[in-house]
């Protein structure tokens, strides 16, 4: 259910009340479909979870060392995410960029790889690259990033 933004919290009433005020002004409410899907995900068969975990682990273990070979990209191996969050400060300097949005836009336009800037996550010198896709696509994306940096 990646990306569905379904979750729950257990806390004292005062904390939940504060959380409810924030969520009512940001994401509003979930669709009934999302809520029923979440119930099924939590109460239905769980046998696919290990298969998915192994697939994500394989992708990470394949893509992490490759992305670390892209000039200027400094990557820390995540412990529980489906994306990598490399620092690209050196990469931007190498290519003459001072703005991460301009840098990611150039990458998208020149080699067709979409990266999310880290500014919204409090890390303006980082970019987010999801590995929630197949290995061939990931390898191709890293090769394109490498070509962009070596051009």
Q: Are residues 84 and 146 in the same domain?
A: yes
Q: Are residues 57 and 121 in the same domain?
A: yes
* Predicted confidence band of residue 124 (pLDDT cuts 50, 70, 90): very high
The Cα angle at residue 6 between residues 5 and 12, in degrees rounded to 5:
120
User: Is residue 3 over pLDDT 80?
Assistant: no
Q: Are residues 22 and 52 in the same domain?
A: no
**Range of the structural domain that residue 79 is part of:** 48-150
CA distance 111 to 17: 46
Instruction: Find the CATH number of the domain harbouring 102.
Output: 3.90.1150.10
Question: What pLDDT score does 141 carry?
Answer: 98
CA distance 113 to 67: 13
Contact 127, 145 (CB under 8 A): no
Counting the structural domains of the chain, the total is 2
Q: Are residues 93 and 109 in the same domain?
A: yes
Do the domain assignments include residue 82? yes
Give pLDDT tens digits for 21-75. Answer: 888 777 767 788 988 999 998 999 999 999 999 999 999 999 999 999 999 999 9
């Amino acid at each position: 259910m990646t990306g569905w933004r379904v979750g729950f919290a257990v806390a004292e009433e005062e904390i939940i009340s504060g959380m409810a005020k924030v969520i009512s002004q940001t994401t509003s409410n979930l669709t009934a479909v999302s809520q029923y899907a979440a119930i099924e995900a939590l109460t239905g068969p769980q046998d696919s979870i290990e298969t998915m975990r192994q697939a994500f682990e394989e992708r990470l273990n394949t893509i992490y060392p490759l992305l670390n070979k892209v000039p200027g990209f400094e990557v820390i191996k995540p412990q529980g995410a489906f994306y990598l969050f490399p620092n690209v400060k050196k990469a931007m300097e190498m290519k003459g960029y001072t703005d991460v949005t301009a840098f990611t836009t150039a990458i998208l336009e020149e080699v067709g790889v979409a990266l999310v800037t880290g500014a919204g996550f409090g890390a303006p010198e980082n970019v987010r690259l999801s590995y929630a896709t197949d290995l061939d696509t990931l390898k191709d994306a890293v090769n394109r990033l490498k070509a962009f940096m070596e051009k």
